[in-house]
Amino acid sequence: MLRDVAFLADMGGGSAFEVAGGTVTGTDHVVAGRPNQDAYAFRAEGGSLVAVVCDGCGSGARSEVGAALGARIVAEQVLGALRRGGDLDSPATWEDVRRGALAPLRDVAAGMGGGFTEVVSTFFLFTVVGLAISGDRACAFSLGDGLIALGDELLRLGPFPRDEPPYLAYGLLDRPPGGEAPRFTVHRAFPSSALRTALLGTDGAIDLLESSSRQIPGGGEVGPLSRFWEDDRYFRNPDAVRRRLALINRSVARPVWKEERMEREGGLLRDDTTVVVVRRAQAARD
């Protein structure tokens, strides 16, 4: 079943991966009284593992709905394509995933009433960043902006012109922006034996990356992204990633006694920030 907590993915043949994830609402969203519009999902089945993070469009009033549905749907569609013998290196596989993900989104949007384009724009615009592992192949893919770390290699996806990334659900519209429905991009495809660690992030994770040398409100350093895959605690406690992100994004008030006032220090992550971390299980690493 799909899970949203840390878990162990048994890939068969003595190979296994640990997976953990977490998300936190950005400070700008807290101030504006808006919900967290990010979501994530990961699933392992039959020697395959898929992890996905999604970021709802900031101008969509309820795009957290599409992000939550989209993370699960995309993960399931990738696994479905692999069940049918899909090749992670083949553009046909990713077109199969795209069409398969759009089908349930179209059905839900059509069943909600009102103008179809307005429903899509309000509820179903979200970006996708993902990792898929199956057999002897693995790949990192996306449709939109975000962050991917494969070991020490960092891939920043975006920003896009006018800060308008492509969205999967544009494929539901008769006239998508730009005139053509956006497709998935495979950024790296490689032997699965080469994968030791990976991190997937929504675009808020770029703020996390750029805050690595800053001090957490209340004390302590944010530190590098590698902390998330090097520290065992994030794979032992299913809430540890979220707690770390919440610590970095907390607001702290300190008294300045001589001036008889309170000094407030805000969180460091202005945008919603979601991270999923994958690493080869310890027994497989030894």
Whether residue 138 has pLDDT greater than 90: yes
Contact predicate 25/272, CB 8 Å: yes
Contact predicate 59/91, CB 8 Å: no
Contact predicate 53/146, CB 8 Å: yes
Q: What is the pLDDT of residues 32-54, one digit of tens each?
A: 999 999 999 999 998 999 999 99
pTM of the model: 0.93
Contact predicate 134/97, CB 8 Å: no
Residues in a beta bridge with 129: 53, 142
Nearest CA to 144 out of 162, 120, 126 is that of 126
Whether residue 284 has pLDDT greater than 80: no
Q: Phi and psi of 271, rounded to 5°?
A: -100, 155
Contact predicate 198/192, CB 8 Å: no
Whether residue 2 has pLDDT greater than 50: no
